[in-house]
């Protein structure tokens, strides 16, 4: 019950007592009756005055507090006419105005921060106090692979780590930080893609090394090869050719993109790919869509990519057949080339497979599992596909044990 209700009960009680006293003195004391009547009038006037000066201003302030509790920051209190109360009213209205201004400022900053986080190319993941994910931006949703999730759960607060996705050229840096909120430290994760920066740094480094080695070796070989005969000359010629192949990797031209049909371009390479597989006693099948798949690509560079992928698949099958390991679900020595909508190319083989320990090192410079491998094939494929803005992966499925090189062309 509010104070004004108590005041109303008090006023009614006083009026009733005054009325009873007035009724008792009406017959016996007429003079006292008029005096009592005048006292009652003065008492009522005083009660009305007391209400205006005390109870109503108090009730107005209580109403203002209710507005603040309901977060109604637009309404203002009207002056009551009471000097002391109006000081409080003016202070309250000024405070309410400042609160509204700060509230709008915080809302605008919060909206801007949300837009900034959502548009950021860096992944942002917020967690509750128990470490459960509460929100993430678009970039984080695209980066959140099983390998990244595993790294997030294992990363201590305040630490930073890098994660390379198995079978893909993707490299991420993950930071585990926290921010204070209402007295508690709320954890969050930042995920930054380092793929393009690392690729450019790697390319600049191996370009310098390869050019220097090729220059020195070829100059030395050219000076002495003419004075040698037989096996020595052949070995030096092979050495020169070996170094030249390294040098060719850094001479990949910028792609001259043109609109092509993906299935048609694959079909153009069919005779060469069939011959490559036939020589190794490997069966190759093509599952190409009848419907056109428009893509922008450099046909010459694309043929290099396709040939290198199929050659790696044939080599992998050869390794498996050497150790007599059989793969269920496909005949021994089989490669399948498939195109599908939208703009996807998949080369599948039933070769030796890629162990998980090896998958994270694929597409790095000069890495190879072949005894005589130079690590150039996947490096060439990576650089060409990256220049075409493709996404790609090379993984062995643990269920059917088939290895798939998947290429997704941009729309």
132, with CB counted inside 10 A (0-12, 13-18, 19+), is exposed
User: In this model, does residue 331 exceed pLDDT 60?
Assistant: no
Over residues 68-76, mean pLDDT: 72
What is the DSSP secondary structure assignment for residue 370, as one 8-state letter? S
- Which is nearest to 149 in space by CA: 174, 118, 178, 179? 174
Q: pLDDT tens digit string along 233-277?
A: 666 666 666 666 656 655 677 888 999 999 999 999 898 899 889
Q: Of 159-163, 194-198, 293-297, where does mean pLDDT reach its minimum?
A: 194-198
Confidence of residue 390 (pLDDT cuts 50, 70, 90): very high
- Which is nearest to 187 in space by CA: 109, 135, 119? 135
Looking at the chain, how many residues does it have? 411
Q: Is the pTM of this model over 0.75?
A: no
Chain centroid, CA 295 distance in Å? 27
Mean residue pLDDT across the chain = 78
- Which residues, other chains included, contact 55 with Cβ-Cβ below 8 Å and sequence gap of 6+? 3, 4, 7
The pLDDT of residue 149 is 87
The pLDDT of residue 259 is 94
The pLDDT of residue 114 is 86
Helices (H), 325-376: 356-359
User: In this model, does residue 373 exceed pLDDT 70?
Assistant: no
Q: pLDDT tens digit string along 179-198?
A: 887 778 889 999 988 776 66
Beta-sheet pairing, 283-287 with 334-340:
parallel
Q: Of 26-30, 126-130, 236-240, 338-342, where does mean pLDDT reach its minimum?
A: 26-30
């Amino acid at each position: 019950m509010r104070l004004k209700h108590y005041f109303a009960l008090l006023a009614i009680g006083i009026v009733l007592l005054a009325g009873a006293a007035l009724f008792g003195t009406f017959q016996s004391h007429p003079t006292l009756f008029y005096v009592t009547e005048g006292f009652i009038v003065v008492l009522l006037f005083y009660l009305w005055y007391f209400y205006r000066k005390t109870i109503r201003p108090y009730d107005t302030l209580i109403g203002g507090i209710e507005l603040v509790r309901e977060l109604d920051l637009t309404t203002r209190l009207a002056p009551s006419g009471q000097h002391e109360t109006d000081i409080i009213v003016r202070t309250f209205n000024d405070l309410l105005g400042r609160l509204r201004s700060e509230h709008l400022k915080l809302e605008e900053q919060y909206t801007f921060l949300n837009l900034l986080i959502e548009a950021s190319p860096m992944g942002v993941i917020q967690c509750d106090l128990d470490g459960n994910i509460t929100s993430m931006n678009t970039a984080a949703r695209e980066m959140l692979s099983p390998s990244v999730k595993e790294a997030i759960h294992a990363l201590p607060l305040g630490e930073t780590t890098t994660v390379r996705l198995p079978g893909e050229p993707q490299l991420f840096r993950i930071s585990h930080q926290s921010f204070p909120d209402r007295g508690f430290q709320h954890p969050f994760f930042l995920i930054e893609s380092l793929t393009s920066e690392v690729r450019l740094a790697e390319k600049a480094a191996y370009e310098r090394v390869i050019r220097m080695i090729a220059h020195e070796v070829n100059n030395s070989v050219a000076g002495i090869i003419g004075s040698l005969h037989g096996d020595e000359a052949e070995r030096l010629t092979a050495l020169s050719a070996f170094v030249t192949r390294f040098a060719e990797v850094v001479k990949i031209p910028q792609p001259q993109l043109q609109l092509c049909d993906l299935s048609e371009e694959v079909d153009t390479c069919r005779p060469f790919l069939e011959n490559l597989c036939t020589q190794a006693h490997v069966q190759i099948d093509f599952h190409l869509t009848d419907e056109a798949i428009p893509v922008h690509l450099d046909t010459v560079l694309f043929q290099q990519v396709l040939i290198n992928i199929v050659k790696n698949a044939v080599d992998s099958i050869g390794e498996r057949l050497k150790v007599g390991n059989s793969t269920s679900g496909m005949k021994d020595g089989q490669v399948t080339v498939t195109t599908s909508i939208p703009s996807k190319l998949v080369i599948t083989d039933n070769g030796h497979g890629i162990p998980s320990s090896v998958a994270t090192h694929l597409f790095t410079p000069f890495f190879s599992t072949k005894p005589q491998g130079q690590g150039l094939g996947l490096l060439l494929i990576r650089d060409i596909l990256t220049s075409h803005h493709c996404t790609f992966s090379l993984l062995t499925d643990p269920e059917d044990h088939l290895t798939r090189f998947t290429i997704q062309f941009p729309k």
